[in-house]
Amino acid sequence: MKILQIVKKFPYPLVDGESWAIIGLAKGLKSQGTELDLLSLNTEKHQADYEAREMLNDLSLYKNISIIDVSVRPKILSALSNLTGRKSYHEQRYNKQDIHNKITQETFEKTYDVIIAESLYTVDYAYSINKLGHAKAIILLRAHNIEHLIWSRYAIRLKGLKAWYFKNQAKRLKEYESKIISKCDAILTVSDYDKDVFKGITKKVKHIISIPIAMDTLQEPEYKTEDLPFIIGFIGSLDWRPNIEGLEWFLTNIWDDFSEDYPESIFMIAGRNAKRSINLRHHNNMTWLGEIEDSDSFLSQIDVLVCPLFSGSGTRVKVLQSMRAHTPVVGSKIAFEGLSLTHDVHVLEADTKEEWNDALKRIHSRENVDRLVLNSESYLDQYHNTNELGARVLRLIEKL
């Protein structure tokens, strides 16, 4: 079986949830004996350099890797002119004729049994490939999140003109989602929650199933040295609004007080574009690491990962990564959305200042930490096994 994955940015190295989701699915499908090709956009913001390409080649997941240079950078004038139309600005940026032309030219002499669109914005590319006149491929949407929910939740926390703008974009995105998903033969969501949302959006797609992000546990995690201080960690792309918002809230409302009560503690922040994105001000015992190469090592060395999120959608891969590294997680309700995790069994959930302080104090005192870690390992084995998830996708394809 020949499968093409279409992605809107190069998925290696594994620097964010989207890349983990793409490569995890590819590994699962490869384990089932399929032949995979990758077609990736190469944008101004996410450039696939030579080293990244060679690293992905070394994984031997794909028979062919095609990279297409495109321009999708947001621009003020085009964003303003978009207000007079009916399309979402995201659709306007990605659904350009020149991009379609490059993609159809790249795939003209190739045929596929299945095309997996790894984003709402790449479904139309799959549709263009199918219109070339070759045998029609099955089109699957791999939905990493619910796009309109990200912006509608963000808009709720804003006021004035910005709130109006993002509410308007969320409404347009919801209409676009409804239109686009009707072109798919099936939808693969990352959670049961997202599956239910999509079922509420459309009745035209009969096959909507949840395929969680593949995340096998580390066989030999790099355990923390006992004589190190208590380390709280945060990891995430700091050019993404929900991460910026959550981190700034945590610094102001939780960390300043906690670091006074526990002056030996350190807060380590890992994430690209931090200094450009975050409103920096003085905080005690805080270390900025910037973008890191080895997230497994970082997560293995900290005592607890914090995930303060109040908007966004989809599965928080950093939660799974931390569980994979045997490190406990404290997060807000939205941070665990879409994951079948139970408070005080797998993770500690906190939304109010009181709940956050109580949870961090429990981790600091090592209260039930070993139990949380053991339960998390069992959870990954049950729900996020790479080979089993690949087999489930293959069984779905055979039904279509």
Q: How far apart are alpha carbons 43 and 24 in whole angstroms?
A: 22
* DSSP per-residue string spanning 87-123: S-HHHHHH--HHHHHHHHHHHTT---SEEEESSGGGH
Closest CA to 219 of 300, 123, 315: 300
> If you average pLDDT over residues 162-169, what whole number do you get?
90
Sheet holding 35-42, edge to edge: 64-69, 35-42, 2-7, 114-117, 138-143, 186-189, 207-210
CATH number of 2-214+385-399: 3.40.50.2000
Instruction: Identify the residue with better confidence: 209 or 221.
Output: 209
Per residue in 42-79, is it b (16+ CB within 10 Å) or e — as a string?
A: ebeebebeeebeeebeeeebbeebbbbebebeeeeeee
Q: How confident is the prediction for the chain on average, in pLDDT?
A: 89
Q: Do domains 2-214+385-399 and 231-383 have the same CATH topology?
A: yes
pLDDT in the model for residue 91: 87
Instruction: Identify the residue with better confidence: 225 or 111.
Output: 111
Strands 2-7 and 329-331, bridge-based pairing:
unpaired
Q: Is the pLDDT of residue 272 over 90?
A: no
The domain ranges of the chain are 2-214+385-399, 231-383
CATH number of 231-383: 3.40.50.2000
HSE-up (13 A, CA, CB side) for residue 243: 20
Chain segment 55-92, per-residue pLDDT in tens: 999 999 999 999 999 999 888 888 888 888 888 888 88
pTM comes to 0.84
Chain segment 343-364, per-residue pLDDT in tens: 999 999 999 999 999 999 999 9
Chain segment 28-38, per-residue pLDDT in tens: 999 999 999 99
**Amino acid identity at 332:** S
Phi, psi torsion values for 104, nearest 5 degrees? -65, -35
Q: Is the pLDDT of residue 225 over 60?
A: no
Q: Which of 90-104, 310-324, 370-384 has the lowest mean pLDDT?
A: 310-324
Kindly indicate the confidence band of residue 221, based on its pLDDT and cuts at 50, 70 and 90: low
Q: Is the pLDDT of residue 276 over 70?
A: no
pLDDT in the model for residue 314: 55
